[in-house]
Chain A
Amino acid sequence: MNQRHHVDGQPAFVLHAYPYSETSLIVDVFSQDHGRVALLARGARRPRSVLRGVLQAFQPLELGWAGRGEVQTLIRAEWQGGQPLLAGKSLFCGYYLNELLIHLLPREDAHARLFSVYAATLRRFADGAQESDLRCFERALLQELGYGLLLETDAAGLAVEENAHYAYEIEHGPVRLPGPGRSARSVSGRTLIDLAREDFSDPRSLAEAKQLMRTLISHYTGGRSLSSRRIFRELHEL
């Protein structure tokens, strides 16, 4: 970790930015080949800084940085284009993806496949975010982190049956139940199969998949509540 890095022309997205000194930012970035990195953007908070407008979340960028240790120094940032600005519900869904990445992706672990899933999900968000996009992203994220879901065979190694009922045991997979379960981890065989095929045309599969993913994500984030989810919910309570 203490070797000196010099990276240039790296495709990346800003996940979040925090003010550092009066004039600088620390930017939490998700890059294609270096995963999540923290970069110091010197002068990015100055009134006339070019970086100010460029370092926005959800926009494809090309970044260059150098340094060693936990926070490296941003040298160059270029806007790549092609991604319309997110608005409305899509914007809140974008924040949700970023919050998941911030809480679950360890720093400096390359996840090039997840990076391309993330970029493709944001492109789809531009036409209006769908719940199924969120489920597919959550599944890809868990897979990349090594928490891949067992969906087509149950914990006993038997093929999942469409009409059977299961309870999803974290780290083990679906355990067959004699009848419909009542916990947050209860799912029908149909939902498991639909989730494996990423087919969410059945509203029940979509609803059960949401519940299952929420339980799994809450487990892997150590029960942390996600503020993007809370704030989006509050919108509908106003």
Chain B
Amino acid sequence: MNTPSSLESLIEALRCLPGVGPKSAQRMAYHLMQHGRPGAQRLADALQLALAALRHCQRCNTFTESETCVRCLSSKRDASLLCVVETPVDMNMMEQTHAYSGLYYVLMGRVSPLDGIGPGELHLDRLLARCGDGVVREVIIATNFTNEGEATAHYLSEMLRSRGVSVSRIARGVPVGGELEYVDAGTLAQALRERRPVAG
């Protein structure tokens, strides 16, 4: 097949997206060029703008356009609480709970030994510096309940505890409104292992 070189480099460029193989990259490229030209232009402009404007907040590591993000600057947040999450999406989920008024640190990943991702790759030294500012008193670890999320939590708790910061981990268990009949067995087994005394 004879593909023009600009089309070929577009296909190649699209493959940098997660989970996009050669076939879907080709489909996307054809779509953008044939039916989606205005959309393609918007995409190109937005990419250029984001590349120029976005950076990581120096305090919480999430994306922002200024040196420090709006949330980190807010006087309404409790700066003694720091919640560590894997991604900005997880941070948004935590915000939706309306149950948390502290600040965040976004790891932008997780420890994954078999993918070669450790503390160096995650720049955990930056989190450590953040926790050592004298203001943070409790760190709440809200990484995923996967093996990688647990490995990350273990790393963080070891690292922080040795520096005198109090560390907690969000609890897991049966979902709110969950009927045992419909809960998966793995969740139920873990909820049973992590049972706690009933107050009263």
Interface residues of A (CB under 8 A from B): 16, 19-24, 45, 50, 53-54, 56-59, 79, 81, 84-89, 91-92, 94-96, 98-99, 102, 227-228, 230-232, 234-235, 238
Contact = CB atoms under 8 A, between A and B. Distances in A.
A150 to B, nearest CB: 32
A88 B158 CA distance: 9
Interface in B74-118: 111, 113-118
Interface residues of B, number: 31
Contacts of B119: 231, 234-235, 238
A57 B154 contact: no
Given A57-B147, A84-B193, A231 B111 contact: yes
A20 B24 CA distance: 12
Contact of B113 (A59, A84, A99): A99
Interface in B98-147: 111, 113-120, 124, 128, 146-147
A58 B147 contact: yes
B186 A86 contact: no
B50 interface: no
A231 B112 CA distance: 9
A91 B189 contact: no
Contact of B158 (A20, A231, A235): A235
A196 B129 CA distance: 48
Interface of B: 18-21, 24, 111, 113-120, 124, 128, 146-147, 150-151, 154-155, 158-159, 184-187, 189-190, 193
Nearest to A28: B114
Contacts of B185: 79, 81
B147 A86 contact: yes
A234 B147 contact: no
Contacts of A86: 147, 150
A91 B114 contact: no
A220 B120 CA distance: 28
Nearest to A226: B113
18 contacts: A20-B21, A21-B19, A22-B20, A24-B19, A54-B186, A79-B184, A79-B185, A81-B186, A86-B150, A91-B150, A92-B151, A95-B147, A96-B113, A227-B116, A231-B116, A235-B119, A238-B124, A238-B128
